[in-house]
Amino acid sequence: MPKHSPSSLNPRAPLVLDTRDLPRRPGALRTLRRVVPAPVDLGVELIGVPAGANLNLDLRLESVSEGVLVSGTVTGPVQGECGRCLRTIDYSLTVNVQELYAYENSTTDITTDEDEVGRMQDDLIDLEPALRDAVVLTLPTNPLCREDCPGLCPECGVHWDDLPADHSHQQIDPRWASLSQLNRTEE
Ligand SMILES: [Zn+2]
Ligand SMILES: [Zn+2]
């Protein structure tokens, strides 16, 4: 069974890093700054980076004995919805990326699983899986517009911020109120 699927990476794809000009000599370095459009579905259910938004890559590619170590930051806008009040959430997210990509047929390539260590395809690195992991791990599963967001009144759906402090739907019809008092005396 072949260990590698045939190279399918497009060197011009925004998140494919080309290492052809990085000497395969441990310690060789190259910096890479690039603005690329965000791929679709970069996020979780309620929050994520909008597809096509500008992602700023600020990366360092370093040759190590068995491959290339990619490290640095990726910054992009995040948009989502508050899980309590549905207000729009909008901020800039910076994630750290650090991932080793083994040369094809290196000892690392042969002795590790692909989910432990990334793989190079010829001179190309697909940054997208590592970027996705970094972004998804950083995003909140239950995003809030602010930490103490009080949410919405479950009765009328108005934000508690916009309601008076004594807002309540507990007023019972006076006729029912006396009835419930009757019930209480019977017990
Ligand atoms: Zn909120
Ligand atoms: Zn209400």
Burial class (CB in 10 A: 0-12, 13-18, 19+), 22: middle
- % of the chain residues with pLDDT over 90: 75
Considering the chain, what is the average pLDDT of its residues?
89
Task: Determine which of 6-20, 80-94, 147-161 has the lowest per-residue pLDDT on average.
Answer: 6-20
164 alpha carbon to ligand 2 midpoint, in Å? 10
pLDDT digits (tens, 9 = 90+) for 27-76: 999 999 999 999 999 999 899 999 999 999 999 999 999 999 999 999 99
pLDDT single digits (tens) 17-41: 999 999 999 999 999 999 999 999 9
Backbone dihedral region for residue 122 (phi beyond 0: left; psi -120 to 50: alpha; all else: beta): left
Give percent of the chain with pLDDT exceeding 70.
Answer: 87
Compute the average pLDDT of residues 162-178: 78
**CA of residue 20 to ligand 1 center, whole Å:** 48
Residues with CB under 5 A from ligand 2 (ion): 153, 155-156
Contact by Cβ (8 Å): 102, 121 = no
Q: Does the structure show a pLDDT above 80 at 135? A: yes
CB-based burial of residue 117 (10 Å sphere; 0-12 exposed, 13-18 middle, 19+ buried)?
middle
Q: For residue 113, what pLDDT is reported?
A: 86
- What distance in angstroms lies between residue 89's CA and the mean position of ligand 1's atoms? 9
Tell me: pLDDT of 120 over 80.
yes
